[in-house]
Amino acid sequence: MKKYIISAGIILSGFYANAQILAPVKWAYASKRLNKNEAVILVKATIEKGWHIYSQNVADGGPAKTALVFTKSDEYSLVNKPTEPKPLKKYEKAFDMDVTYFENTVVFQQRVKLVKDQPVINGTISYMACSNKECLPPEDIAFSVSVK
């Protein structure tokens, strides 16, 4: 009987731990061919109400900025740097500075020059999500997008 009670306690503690995992940002990826030799990679963040992620252009000394890093490949080359829409801006006491950030949704874009006809583009998104109560540790998410 004692084994069953201990086993049940371990199982229930696992369910409780899973319930505590926060994931306020969901990511989606797509590509749009612009012409025979160029495409744009679209990286969309959908952010839960009350949360935000930071711009790619946060000053040093602040929170972890969002960064898109593309894997080098002989199938494509990057054209300039990833772009983003105009972010919101506010003073954050925790960082003692003005920060730029996004709420709700944001789409980052990266133009690519195609060397092969239908490349697969791989990369990683690094970001940090915060609410007005807490910040989650920075996270890296790998992605893969086919250009058709």
- Give pLDDT tens digits along the chain (148 positions): 454 444 444 444 454 444 568 899 999 999 999 999 999 999 999 999 999 999 999 999 999 999 999 999 999 999 999 999 999 999 998 889 999 999 999 999 999 999 998 999 999 999 999 998 999 999 999 999 999 9
Domains (ranges, CATH) in the chain? Answer: 23-146 (2.60.40.1250)
Query: Which DSSP category does 130 fall into?
Result: E
User: For residue 117, which of 29, 36, 30 has the smallest C-alpha distance?
Assistant: 36
- Report the predicted TM-score, pTM, of the whole model to 2 decimal places: 0.84
The amino acid at residue 133 is K
